[in-house]
Amino acid sequence: MKNFSIIILVVLGLLTISSVFVINEGERGIVFQFSKIKRDSDGEMRIYEPGLHFKIPMIERIKKIDARIQTLDGAAARFVTAEKKDVLVDSYVKWKIVDFSTFYVRTAGGDINNARALLTQKVNNGLRTEFGRRTIQQIVSGDRDSLMEEAMISAQSSKADLGIEVVDVRVKRINLPTEVSDSIFKRMRADRHAVAKEHRSQGMEKAQVIEATVNAKVTVMKATAKKNAFTIRGEGDALAAKVYADAYSKDAEFFGFVRSLEAYENSFNSKSDVLIVKPDSDFFHYLKDVKSK
C-alpha cells in the first residue's frame, strides 16, 4: 500500500513535471504535436505568452523563440561609393521576430543564426544600393538619415519573408581607405599651414602698424620740441641783443675798444700761435724809444 502510494506519487510528479512548461519574459513558445505545429480552431498558430502552460506529455514538444529586440552587428563590410571608392562601413541592425510561425517555417526551424544570415544579406543589399548612389561626402554628412531609411525599407520586405520586423538600421562608423584618408590628411595639413601663415602675417601687420605709429609720433614729438627750442633760443638771443644794445649804445666807441681787446686775448692764447710782430706798434713803443711819443 505504502510502496504503491510512493510509486504513484513519483509517477504523478514526473507527469506533472513533463506536462507543464514555463515561458520566460522576453520569449514566446510554440507547441508541436508529433512535430506538427499546434494551431487554433481557425488555423492560426498558437503562440504561448510568458507564464506557466500545460502540454500533453510525450506528445507535445515546445520550441521557445526569443521575442526581444535583437542586434545584428557584424563586421564592417566593404562598399563601393558613387566615385568608385571603397569604404568600410560598420552598421548594425535592430530587429525582432513578430510573426513567429513565418519565422519558424522560413528559418529552418527557428534557427536564429539562419535568420541572421538572411537578414544580413538583405540589409547589406539595401546598403550596397544606397552607397553606390552616393559620394563619400553625401554618405558622411549629407543624408545618413535617408540612407538608413532606404536600408530599412529594403529590409522591411523581410517581414513577409521571415516574420522579422526591422526596428532600426544604423551606420556606426565609416572608415575610409588609406589613400582617401591620406589625401584628407594632406588637405588638412595644407589648410592648417595656410591658417598659420595668415596668423603670423596678421601679427606682423599689426606690429608694424603699431611701430610705425609710434615712430611717427616720436618724430613729430622731437621736431616739435626742436621748434620750441629754437623759438626759445631766438627769444634768448633777442633779449641778449637788446641788453647789449641798450648798454653799449651809451658809448659805442669804448665798447668797440673793450670788445676788441677781449677778442685779441681770446684769439691769441696758445703757444702754438706764432705772432710775427714789428716793434713799431704801440705796445713796443718803449722798447725802441724811451721818450714819450
Partner 1 sequence: MAWNEPGKNDNDPWKNKGGRDQGPPDLDEFLKDLGNKFGGIFGGKKSGKSGGSNFSSIGAGIIVVIAVVVWAVSGFYTIKEAQRGVVLQFGEFNGMVEPGIHWQPTFIENVIPVDVQTTRDLARRGDMLTQDENLVLVEMQVQYRIVNAREYLFSVTNADQSLEQAFDSAIRYVVGHSKMDEVLTSGREQVRQSVWAELEKVIESYKLGIIIADVNFKDARPPEQVKDAFDDAIAAKEDEERFVLEAQGYALSEEPKARGIAKAIEQEAIAYKEQIVLDAEGQVAKFEKLLPEYQAAPEVTRQRLYLSTMENVYSNTSKVMVDVDGGNNMMYIPLDKIMQNQSKAVQQNSRDLTPVKQSSTETSPNSTVNSTTGRTDRYGRGGN
* Cβ distance to partner 1 smaller for residue 12 or 108: 12
CA distance linking residue 153 with residue 156, whole number of Å? 5
146 near partner 1 (CB under 8 A): no
* Cβ distance to partner 1 smaller for residue 40 or 282: 282
Q: Which of residues 264-293 bind partner 1 (CB under 8 A)?
A: 264-266, 268-279, 282-284
H-helix or E-strand spanning residue 198: helix 178-248
**Stretch touching partner 1 by CB under 8 A, among 45-53, 77-85, 103-111, 151-159:** 45-53
133 near partner 1 (CB under 8 A): no
- Tell me how far, at minimum, the Cβ of 165 lies from partner 1, in Å: 11
26 near partner 1 (CB under 8 A): yes
Size of the site for partner 1 (CB under 8 A): 116
Q: Supply the DSSP symbol for 140.
A: I
CA distance linking residue 147 with residue 124, whole number of Å? 12
249 near partner 1 (CB under 8 A): no
Strand, coil or helix: what is 136? helix
**Stretch touching partner 1 by CB under 8 A, among 39-47, 74-82, 113-121, 162-170:** 162-170
CA distance linking residue 139 with residue 143, whole number of Å? 6
214 near partner 1 (CB under 8 A): yes
56 near partner 1 (CB under 8 A): no
Exactly one of 39, 45, 50, 77 binds partner 1 (CB under 8 A); that residue is 50
Q: Which of residues 64-83 bind partner 1 (CB under 8 A)?
A: 66, 68-71, 73
Exactly one of 38, 63, 94, 128 binds partner 1 (CB under 8 A); that residue is 94
Asked if 70 contacts 94 with a C-beta cutoff of 8 angstroms, the reply is yes
Exactly one of 250, 291, 292, 293 binds partner 1 (CB under 8 A); that residue is 250
Which cell numbers hold the place of 70? 535583437
Asked if 17 contacts 54 with a C-beta cutoff of 8 angstroms, the reply is no
* Cβ distance to partner 1 smaller for residue 36 or 173: 173
Exactly one of 18, 125, 129, 230 binds partner 1 (CB under 8 A); that residue is 230
Exactly one of 38, 85, 144, 159 binds partner 1 (CB under 8 A); that residue is 144
Strand, coil or helix: what is 54? strand
* Cβ distance to partner 1 smaller for residue 35 or 172: 172
- Tell me how far, at minimum, the Cβ of 26 lies from partner 1, in Å: 4
Strand, coil or helix: what is 238? helix
Exactly one of 160, 193, 256, 289 binds partner 1 (CB under 8 A); that residue is 193
Strand, coil or helix: what is 290? coil
Strand-pairing partners, residue 65, are 28
In 3D space, the residue among 118, 119, 128 whose CA is nearest the CA of residue 89 turns out to be 128
- The owner of cell 534557427 is 111
- The owner of cell 514526473 is 14
Side-chain-side CA neighbours of 203 within 13 Å: the count stands at 6
**Stretch touching partner 1 by CB under 8 A, among 31-39, 77-85, 117-125, 235-243:** 235-243
Task: Please enumerate in sequence order all residues whose Cβ is within 8 A of that of 107, keeping only pairs 6 or more positions apart, or say none.
Answer: 114, 115, 118, 162
140 near partner 1 (CB under 8 A): yes
